[in-house]
């Protein structure tokens, strides 16, 4: 039960540190548009609040049951070679997408990333995965480029 409290507490601490660092980023008034300091602080605030809520929920749950599970009830933490390779491939795909954005544009790179991730998570049929990945990339591009005024390569 302690891990269910410690992990979200660590996430909340990381979000606080991320928000603290984001305060050094340039900001603009809302009349001028959104500055680069807005999004990191916004994300840090949301993640921090949700993590603290999880800490409170898990603390309340732990105090209401007031008993620790037997050692045999604890899940065994292990990872297979296949899972390790899949995780490394997905991390490599995210890094490759970051580098590909400059050459092929945001929509194509993001579509490829979302398509690969959806296939890795088992979304079928493939045409639905492709259609969803294109829709997600286009809507993300529209939100950041059209609404927030950020320049993203199409």
User: What are the tens digits of pLDDT across the range 4-38?
Assistant: 788 888 888 988 988 888 778 776 665 665 666 67
pLDDT > 90? residue 108: yes
Radius of gyration of the chain (CA): 20
Residues 113 and 127 in one domain: yes
Please give the pLDDT value at position 39: 75
Residue 84: count other Cβ atoms within 10 Å of its Cβ: 10
100 shares its domain with 89: yes
Whole-angstrom distance, CA of residue 87 vs CA of residue 81: 10
| CA torsion, ordered 85, 90, 91, 96, to nearest 10 deg | 120
Q: Is the whole model's pTM more than 0.85, yes or no?
A: no
Phi, psi of 21 (to 5 degrees): -65, -35
52 — pLDDT class (breaks 50, 70, 90): very high
Domain count, the chain: 2
pLDDT higher than threshold 60 for residue 1: no
Say whether both 19 and 60 belong to one domain. yes
Range of the structural domain that residue 100 is part of: 78-154
Residue whose token pair is 């995210």: 94
28 and 91 share a domain? Answer: no
CB atoms within 10 A of CB 50: 14
């Amino acid at each position: 039960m302690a891990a269910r409290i410690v992990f979200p507490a660590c996430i909340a601490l990381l979000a606080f540190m991320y928000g603290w660092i984001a305060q050094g980023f340039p900001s603009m008034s809302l009349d001028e548009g959104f500055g680069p300091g807005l999004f990191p602080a916004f994300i840090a605030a949301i993640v921090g609040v949700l993590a603290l809520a999880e800490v409170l929920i898990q603390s309340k749950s732990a105090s209401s049951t007031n008993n620790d599970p037997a050692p045999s009830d604890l899940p065994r933490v292990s990872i297979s070679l296949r899972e390790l390779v899949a995780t490394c491939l997905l991390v490599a795909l995210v890094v490759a997408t970051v580098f590909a954005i400059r050459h092929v544009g945001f929509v194509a790179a993001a579509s490829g990333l979302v398509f690969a991730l959806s296939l890795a998570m088992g979304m079928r049929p493939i045409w639905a995965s492709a259609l969803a990945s294109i829709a997600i990339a286009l809507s993300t591009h529209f939100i950041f480029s059209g609404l927030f005024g950020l320049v993203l390569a199409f």
